[in-house]
Structure 1
Amino acid sequence: MPDFRLAAYTFNQFVAPYQSDTIKGFRDAEPQVFQTLEKASGFLARSGYEGEDGPASWGTQVFPACWENTNGDGWAPSTLSLWSSIEALMAAVYHGPHGSVLRHGRDWHIRADHIPEYVLWWAPDGHTPDWAEAVRRFESLMEKGPQPEAFSFKSPFDADGRAYKPDIARVKTLAQTNAKTLRPV
């Protein structure tokens, strides 16, 4: 049986153009957030973006059909990454710099209750999902709800397709390890 890695795709829409003063807090925090996520326990890899410095893009970046270019700049915040476990991703997302920025999301992102902000799924070792696969999984979660092929932290599944309860003690331990490891010198 193959081993699996947790794939995560995030998507949102800004309330204003990316270069606007309204989004400045997000822009200012983004480099540190990426840097700490990439150093977090359980982080494996992330896609970059075509035409930008950093990691290579995992295919051509596309957005879900629900995306509306309301801010007029043709850009929406989205990420695609691979993690060793649900607990590792939860520790990185809800704690540290990302957790702090996450609490300000309502200042920068359009609230849409019918659109998820992310989707998770298990990718077999040796397979790197591309942006198109991520969007298909995202749209599946939006249309069908949580299932083994596309789920959320609220309704997770293990790699065998069974409902899963994350180990919250492990999340806290990983968050503490990340905080010690990633503390500025």
Structure 2
Amino acid sequence: MSARAGKHLVMYNFGLHVAAYESPAVEGFRLREAANFEAADRAHGFISRSGYAGEPGMACWGEQVFPRFIEGSGFAIAPSSLSLWADIESLMAFSYSGVHADALKHARHWNLRQSWPPLVLWWTDVDVVPQWRDGAKRLEYLHDHGPSAAAFTFKQPYGPDGNSADIDRGRVKEVAAINAESQADLLAHVLALKV
């Protein structure tokens, strides 16, 4: 399900840690964070991602806001990311193999169990930079209304034409193999880290 010319896939995710970011309870997450960002930067099909206000590096794509699921958590901020990809197969290959797969494997140690979708996907024109508020609104929409072309997941994907689509699993494996070569050093690093 590769992107047609003129479209990028947007991914927004959101979760809540079991304790404050600086806490020893989420040290394993903190130790892996830079490697995950570097793995994304090296990943086949990765376009760009938003940075975070007040942090050096990538520009922040608008004010960082959070979906309503943060309410009552006691947190003012929460782990989230916003990125652009060439197609869903590239994002899936990054998400479920290599460095990021290692983080997912251990996420239960650092994150609360969610009653909302962990991520939302949608297509946008290549000249549009998504904003944090777009991700928060679409995640809420996905939770409230289920998947559609406006807000979907890997389980029920939509193509850039707005129609329900299938993921090319063979291509996901091909991209994962490409990523494995470019991220071997990062994977070795994270596999040696404490959980």
Same fold (TM over 0.5): yes
1:69-108 equivalences under 5 Å are 70=73, 72-108=74-110
Partner of residue 146, structure 1 = 147
Aligned letter for 2:98? G
Residue-by-residue CA offset, 1:75-112 (whole Å, 9 max, x unaligned): 20000000000000000010111001111111111112
State yes or no: 1:64 paired with 2:57.
no
In the alignment of these two chains, the number of paired residues is 183
Return 5+ residue gaps in structure 1 as ranges. none
Return 5+ residue gaps in structure 2 as ranges. 187-195
Residue-by-residue CA offset, 1:128-155 (whole Å, 9 max, x unaligned): 1000111111111011000000000000
Aligned pair partner of 2:33 in 10, 30, 34: 30
Aligned letter for 1:33? N
Which whole-Å CA distance do the structure 1 matches of 2:177 and 2:106 have between them? 22
Residue-by-residue CA offset, 1:33-88 (whole Å, 9 max, x unaligned): 11011110000000000001120100000000121353x45220000000000000
Which whole-Å CA distance do the structure 2 matches of 1:50 and 1:111 have between them? 27
Larger helix proportion of the pair: 2
1:101-120 equivalences under 5 Å are 101-112=103-114, 114-120=115-121
- Please, what TM-score do these two structures have when normalized by structure 2? 0.90
What's the CA shift for 1:184?
2.4
* SS state at 2:164 partner: coil
Partner of residue 167, structure 2 = 166
In 2, are the aligned partners of 1:18 and 1:75 still within 8 Å (CA)?
Answer: no
* SS state at 1:102 partner: helix
The percent of aligned pairs where both chains have the same amino acid is 42
In 2, are the aligned partners of 1:2 and 1:124 still within 8 Å (CA)?
Answer: no
Partner of residue 47, structure 2 = 44
In 2, are the aligned partners of 1:64 and 1:138 still within 8 Å (CA)?
Answer: yes
Which whole-Å CA distance do the structure 2 matches of 1:109 and 1:69 have between them? 16
Return structure 1 stretches of 4+ with deviation > 3 angstroms.
none
* SS state at 2:70 partner: coil
Root-mean-square deviation over aligned CA pairs: 1.5
Partner of residue 132, structure 2 = 131
Aligned pair partner of 1:55 in 53, 58, 66: 58
In 2, are the aligned partners of 1:69 and 1:75 still within 8 Å (CA)?
Answer: no
What's the CA shift for 1:183?
2.3
Residue-by-residue CA offset, 1:154-180 (whole Å, 9 max, x unaligned): 000001111111011100110000111
In 2, are the aligned partners of 1:87 and 1:170 still within 8 Å (CA)?
Answer: yes
